[in-house]
Amino acid sequence: METALTRLTGVEHPLVQTGMGWVAGPRLVSATARAGALGVLASATMTTEQLRQAVREVKSRTDAPFGVNLRADAGDARERVRIIVDEGVRVASFALAPSRELIAELKDAGVVVIPSIGARRHAEKVAAWGADAVIVQGGEGGGHTGEVATTVLLPQVVDAVDIPVIAAGGFHDGRGLVAALAYGAAGIAMGTRFLLTSDSTVPDAVKARYLAAGVRDITVTTAIDGLPHRMLRTDLVTALERHGRARTLLHALRRAAGFRRLSGLSWPAMLRDGRAMRHGKDLTWGQVLLAANTPMLLRAAMVEGRTDLGVMASGQVAGVIEDLPSCAELVDRVMDEAERVLRRIPGSLRPLPGG
């Protein structure tokens, strides 16, 4: 199935595996790429040296195109861009809008730039700055999310920009791909669905929690870092929502100390990153620290398997996912179903009586 996305990135299928922290590592990305979709490495939870090693590991496993997701507001964003360019990575994606200068630097080096956005005006801005495509995430998506549903946001963005639009938030099967194409998208991006594959390195106990979740077990909370965050409801989430400022600050300090040791960041650097994540919001110091060390909360679940103390970011589709296929099986299933749906549509359309 050829679309503007496949032509732009060189992949076989118009499917993107999103860059999920602690999840989208070399194993998942290379499996996705070998299956013909666009795998995206999550670099925000890696040091620069780990990022370079991860890129080289993916390249050793497959010759297929893949991407790297970057935090545009990171203090070492330019160093990471340099790694992407030096290592010949095909695509750079961004969780926040990159600057005009970063986009130009990547494009001059032949890298495809695909920011993720959650509002029409953001899409218009990055398109004017030269972005090659955008990923549009509606409110159904996991992690930091907005309030507007994909079915409302997607057509707005498609109408507003003249670059390929990739739909995210609420997708897990071939029917969703066809629906996105009907709205004018060039493909779909999926996070939770790729997290729940046999190629994902997420511990089995955590995967089991996702598979057991119903749609109502997935919530949006601001308790983690002061911003709307979609995740599985756990005792930790409930406790943080009930904490006062003093207990939240104490909890944040403990978590921040662990993340500082793991990442090698200094306290000033962590606070600077926390402030950068505020996006103009009026956050307490506890929330600033939680924002800075949210990766540690994610790591507790996604790496250590701590379903009691970790954060499990999740799209609403977790409530309807029931199995753990390989990436190859998942991609084949999505594309086969999309083809069947497309073949059925002409036969399902009948003229109105008297028409």
Q: What is the pLDDT of residue 288?
A: 62
Residue that has been written with the tokens 């944040």 in this structure: 252
Phi, psi dihedral angles at 228 (to 5 degrees): -60, 125
pLDDT at 149: 97
- For residue 97, give the DSSP letter: P
Q: Say if residue 115 is exposed, middle or buried (CB neighbours under 10 Å; 0-12, 13-18, 19+).
A: buried
| pLDDT recorded at residue 274 | 57
CA distance 196 to 336: 19
CATH of domain 4-203+320-347: 3.20.20.70
Q: Where are the domains of the chain?
A: 4-203+320-347, 214-302
Residue 355 to residue 353: CA distance in whole angstroms: 5
Give residue 101's pLDDT. 95
CB atoms within 10 A of CB 38: 32
pLDDT along the chain (355 residues), means of 10: 97 98 97 98 95 98 98 91 98 93 97 97 97 98 95 98 98 98 98 98 97 96 85 87 62 58 60 57 60 75 89 97 98 98 86 65
Q: What is the pLDDT of residue 13?
A: 98
